[in-house]
Chain A
Amino acid sequence: DAGITQSPRYKITETGRQVTLMCHQTWSHSYMFWYRQDLGHGLRLIYYSAAADITDKGEVPDGYVVSRSKTENFPLTLESATRSQTSVYFCASSDLSGGSEQFFGPGTRLTVL
């Protein structure tokens, strides 16, 4: 199916565990993004990638790791989850050429106990 997908949609984990959230897009968009959404904070950029093997920090990168070995995939890893990382995580993709629409995935709700 064409589009952008995230997995899992829901995840419960414990403090200190490693968690990886997956994101896959079928448009071959050059840019991909990870956001977290918390009440009162809107969408905060964690990391973004301009192309395969190129990643850069956003507003709130601490505690997160990303990689982009293939254009279509952009996994987000929490190396040692903390309760403050309980949030809804959205992946997005875009061409971004001169400013353009971002396409968002359905989100992953992560709870860290």
Chain B
Amino acid sequence: GENVEQHPSTLSVQEGDSAVIKCTYSDSASNYFPWYKQELGKGPQLIIDIRSNVGEKKDQRIAVTLNKTAKHFSLHITETQPEDSAVYFCAASGPGGSYIPTFGRGTSLIVHP
């Protein structure tokens, strides 16, 4: 089955800096890669996703890049703000797993004012 590794487990940055979270996956057939943000006491919420026919996708301060050859994808947050502090999860899914997502273990992002 699919295996997703996520790094780092904790990331501490100063307000205004950029943050990058990286994930690798094992199943070359995976073709959908969402990123979820989980604020304290809440359920995860989708912030951006990318499909395998696209190399990069941006939404304001957030971007995701995908390297299919290397089987890794990354979340980039620019000009971080304190409200970006949360746990971020990557996931991968595809026909090999009947599109049931496999999640990474999460990254706790702390943005210091």
Q: Which residues of A contact B (CB under 8 A)?
A: 40-43, 45, 48, 58, 90, 92, 96-102, 104-107
Contact = CB atoms under 8 A, between A and B. Distances in A.
Interface of B: 6, 31-32, 34, 36, 41-46, 49, 51, 89, 93-94, 99-101, 103-106
Contacts, number: 48
Contact of B49 (A90, A101, A105): A101
A24 B22 CA distance: 33
B106 A42 contact: yes
Given A40-B105, A43-B89, A100-B32, A48 B100 contact: yes
A106 B42 CA distance: 5
A99 B99 contact: yes
**Residue with the greatest number of chain A CB neighbours at <10 A, chosen from B36, B41, B42, B99:** B99
Contacts of A98: 32, 99
B44 A104 contact: yes
